[in-house]
């Protein structure tokens, strides 16, 4: 039953049906009745497992193929006509060559299977931010996840009317061959194609593929920003709510900051924190000349291991109903789920993420895959912002960049101005932990946390950021934070987690000219007495150390940045080259 008469949509779907040859085509209308029918079907085939409905109502477990458990950057491509438009940090192939290769792989790939047509919206349907897409898939798992992560259903076709303005997406599991696995974005055609994967990050096309890789390119054309950022509202005792966005590479505390819980003393004084988004922000200039942000997603696609009552109680609470867990362990005693660091009581009668018997006594590997996930409705989150569905978004006062640095970066510093802020974002990096490939301690640059997600040349992306300054009459101020400074024993000096609100409080005071700062070689730093230490076990001396700038380390940093910038050649915006020169001059003065 077709849900639209839009000829652009019908012609495109008919072409994909002819190519993939499914046995039948089902249109997703977004109704609970239809989704429930699909859940029952997926349980019957073993694609998902229904969990204990008393303890975890509406929750299911899915296991992906053991070769298919994470995003694969090496198989992710940006295919535009000119190689230089993709830039040195993206994999590129000529679009015609890639289309030819993919057509062979898709040919007959859905024989014996059903194709599902998923109309979806990133952002609130009908809002100024909204963008529409259609994903064709042969996976019920994808349908059920997209219904959590995006706004799905008939309303999308109603909004599109006869318009050709939608993002085309084709996904086929095919035979899950890792050697023929491709996640391809064609920014010039507004098309996404993924094949031979069933893992969320590669196949839920609304998230990274559309909302970042394709949308970053749309933002450049249309004068807005699509960013890998959380959106957080901070309500002070006066009842004012001020909003920040933040970009952090993985393992740098992004989800914890997005779902921040104020320290006890702050709570008593009436402080509250509101989560608008944990992963992606679309930013547009509002009529008041400020940047306004929306979270284009409707759910959270979070990493399970390490999520617990202490590390992130809000995230844990969010997963307690209507959630799909992927690659976690199944506790056979009560039909619930478990993962490492959930609690100190691992199940003794369980199936691991591959479906094999597991117990702590006999375990050879982890119960849950280290990248196991939960897909949970954002509305479940205890601190979800009342503005979550506001079609106009929220006004942004500060942009925060962060990384994991043991010695170099201070706890917090503010950029001098917008240009310097773009420079600060462009040099973002994290020292590798044992979990990442490569040398422990080596700095991996991840500008604006967008390296794997920018849909075009990174230097052009920085230029777009620089150009945006012209259209923002009242730009947010830009800051850098580092929760990860360590002492001589390698222990973290700053307690992190809820205590990070103390730093965000200073950031917001700076945005509203409520506090001073001292100028240093790298930017503006807090005066020690301006960060509230009441109720936290951090001395003024320790804080002074956290807010110190080691010139020798920063000279090394500048040299590292120079090496990183080299790969962008003469495309590097001259403003960034000038900022680097100026930093070195100040350090050598």
C-alpha neighbours within 13 Å on the C-beta side of residue 6: 20
pLDDT higher than 70, residue 436: no
Q: Are strands 241-247 and 24-27 parallel, antiparallel or unpaired?
A: unpaired
Question: Residue 310 — φ and ψ, nearest 5°?
Answer: -95, -45
- Tens of pLDDT, residues 69-87: 999 999 999 999 999 999 9
Query: pLDDT > 90: what percent of the chain?
Result: 97
Provide Rg for the chain, Cα atoms: 24
Segment 32-37 shows an average pLDDT of 98
Q: Are strands 191-195 and 24-27 parallel, antiparallel or unpaired?
A: unpaired
- Provide the β-strand partners of residue 241: 235
CB burial class (10 A; 0-12, 13-18, 19+) of residue 250? Answer: middle
- Torsion from C-alpha of 266, 267, 270, 275, nearest 10 degrees: 100
Choosing among 1.10.1200.120, 3.40.50.150, 3.20.20.150, 2.170.8.10, the CATH entry for 300-380 is 2.170.8.10
Q: How far apart are CA 580 and CA 568, in angstroms?
A: 14
Domain extent listing, the chain = 7-30+72-222, 227-295+388-588, 300-380
Q: Are 136 and 169 in contact (CB under 8 A)?
A: yes
Distance, CA of 554 to chain centre: 29
The whole-number pLDDT of residue 442 equals 85
The whole-number pLDDT of residue 432 equals 74
Task: Give strand ranges (E) for 446-525.
Answer: 477-481, 518-519, 524-525
In the 3-class helix/strand/coil scheme, how is 361-372 assigned residue by residue? CCCCCCCCCCCC
The whole-number pLDDT of residue 440 equals 63
Q: How far apart are CA 478 and CA 421, in angstroms?
A: 5
- Tens of pLDDT, residues 47-69: 999 999 999 999 999 999 999 99
The whole-number pLDDT of residue 1 equals 83
- Tens of pLDDT, residues 174-226: 999 999 999 999 999 999 999 999 999 999 999 999 999 999 999 999 999 99
The whole-number pLDDT of residue 242 equals 98
Q: Are strands 350-351 and 357-358 parallel, antiparallel or unpaired?
A: antiparallel
Query: pLDDT > 70: what percent of the chain?
Result: 99
- Tens of pLDDT, residues 93-107: 999 999 999 999 999
Local confidence band at 435 (pLDDT 50, 70, 90 cut-offs): very low
CB burial class (10 A; 0-12, 13-18, 19+) of residue 44? Answer: exposed
pLDDT higher than 70, residue 328: yes
Q: Are 146 and 203 in contact (CB under 8 A)?
A: no
Q: Is 252 a catalytic residue?
A: yes
In the 3-class helix/strand/coil scheme, how is 50-99 assigned residue by residue? ECCCCCCCCCEEECCCCCCCCCCHHHEEECCCCHHHHCCCCECCCHHHHH
**Of residues 59, 252, 273, 383, which has the active-site annotation?**
252
Q: Which CATH architecture has domain 227-295+388-588?
A: Alpha-Beta Complex (3.90)
Residue 412, helix vs strand vs coil = strand
Local confidence band at 15 (pLDDT 50, 70, 90 cut-offs): very high
Q: How far apart are CA 133 and CA 142, in angstroms?
A: 14
Q: Are strands 225-227 and 281-285 parallel, antiparallel or unpaired?
A: antiparallel
Choosing among 3.50.50.60, 3.30.300.210, 3.40.449.10, 3.40.1000.10, the CATH entry for 7-30+72-222 is 3.40.449.10
Q: Are 190 and 60 in contact (CB under 8 A)?
A: no
pLDDT higher than 60, residue 438: no
Segment 257-285 shows an average pLDDT of 98
The whole-number pLDDT of residue 196 equals 98
Segment 23-32 shows an average pLDDT of 98
The whole-number pLDDT of residue 251 equals 82
- The per-residue pLDDT of the chain, averaged, comes to 97
The whole-number pLDDT of residue 439 equals 65
Q: Are strands 182-186 and 76-78 parallel, antiparallel or unpaired?
A: parallel
């Amino acid at each position: 039953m077709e849900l639209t008469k839009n000829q652009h949509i019908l012609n495109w779907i008919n072409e994909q049906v002819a190519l993939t040859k499914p046995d039948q085509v089902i249109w997703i209308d977004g109704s609970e009745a239809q989704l429930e029918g699909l859940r029952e079907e997926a349980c019957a085939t073993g694609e998902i497992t229904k969990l204990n409905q008393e303890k975890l109502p509406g929750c299911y477990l899915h296991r992906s193929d053991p070769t298919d458990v994470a995003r694969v950057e090496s198989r992710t491509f940006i295919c535009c006509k000119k190689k230089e438009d993709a830039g040195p940090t993206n994999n590129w192939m000529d679009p015609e060559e890639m289309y030819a290769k993919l057509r062979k792989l898709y040919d007959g790939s859905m024989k014996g299977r059903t194709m599902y047509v998923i109309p979806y919206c990133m952002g609130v349907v009908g809002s100024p931010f909204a963008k529409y897409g259609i994903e064709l898939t042969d996976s019920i798992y994808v349908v059920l996840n997209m219904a959590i992560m995006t706004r799905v259903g008939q309303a999308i076709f109603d909004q599109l009317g006869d318009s050709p303005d939608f993002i085309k997406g084709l996904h086929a599991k095919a035979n899950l061959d890792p050697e023929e696995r491709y996640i391809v974005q064609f920014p010039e055609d507004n098309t996404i194609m993924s094949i031979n994967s069933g893992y969320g990050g590669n196949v839920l096309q609304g998230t990274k593929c559309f909302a970042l890789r394709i949308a970053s390119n749309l933002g450049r054309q249309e004068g807005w920003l699509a960013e890998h950022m959380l959106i957080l509202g901070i309500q002070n005792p006066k009842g004012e709510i001020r909003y920040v966005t933040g970009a952090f590479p993985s393992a740098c505390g992004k989800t914890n900051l997005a779902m921040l819980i104020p320290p006890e003393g702050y709570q008593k004084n009436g402080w509250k924190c509101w989560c608008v988004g944990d992963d992606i922000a679309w930013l547009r200039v509002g009529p008041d000349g400020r940047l306004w942000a929306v979270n284009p997603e409707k759910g959270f696609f979070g990493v399970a291991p390490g999520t617990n009552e202490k590390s992130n109680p809000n995230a844990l609470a969010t997963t307690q109903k209507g959630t799909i867990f992927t690659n976690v362990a199944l506790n056979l005693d009560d039909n619930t789920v478990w993962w490492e660091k959930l609690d100190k009581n691992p199940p003794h009668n369980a199936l691991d993420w591959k479906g094999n018997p597991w117990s702590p006594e006999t375990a050879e590997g982890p119960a849950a895959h280290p990248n196991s996930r939960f897909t949970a409705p954002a509305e479940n989150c205890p601190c979800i912002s009342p503005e979550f569905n506001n079609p106009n978004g929220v006004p942004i006062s500060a942009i925060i960049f962060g990384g994991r640095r043991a010695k170099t970066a201070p706890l917090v510093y503010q950029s001098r101005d917008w240009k310097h802020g773009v420079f600060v974002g462009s040099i973002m990096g994290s020292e590798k932990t044992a979990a990442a490939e490569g040398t422990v301690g080596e700095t991996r640059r991840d500008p604006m946390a967008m390296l794997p997600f920018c849909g075009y040349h990174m230097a052009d992306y920085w230029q777009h950021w620089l150009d945006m300054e012209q259209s923002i009459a009242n730009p947010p101020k830009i800051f850098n934070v580092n929760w990860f400074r360590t002492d001589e024993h390698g222990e973290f000096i700053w307690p992190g987690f809820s205590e990070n609100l103390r730093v965000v409080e200073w950031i917001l005071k700076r945005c509203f000219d409520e506090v001073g700062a001292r100028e240093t070689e790298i930017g503006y730093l807090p005066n020690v007495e301006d960060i509230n230490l009441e109720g936290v076990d951090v001395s003024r001396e320790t804080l002074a150390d956290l807010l110190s700038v080691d010139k020798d380390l920063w000279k090394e940093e500048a040299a590292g940045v120079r090496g990183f910038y080299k790969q962008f050649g003469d495309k590097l915006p001259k403003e960034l080259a000038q900022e680097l020169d100026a930093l070195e001059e100040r350090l050598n003065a």
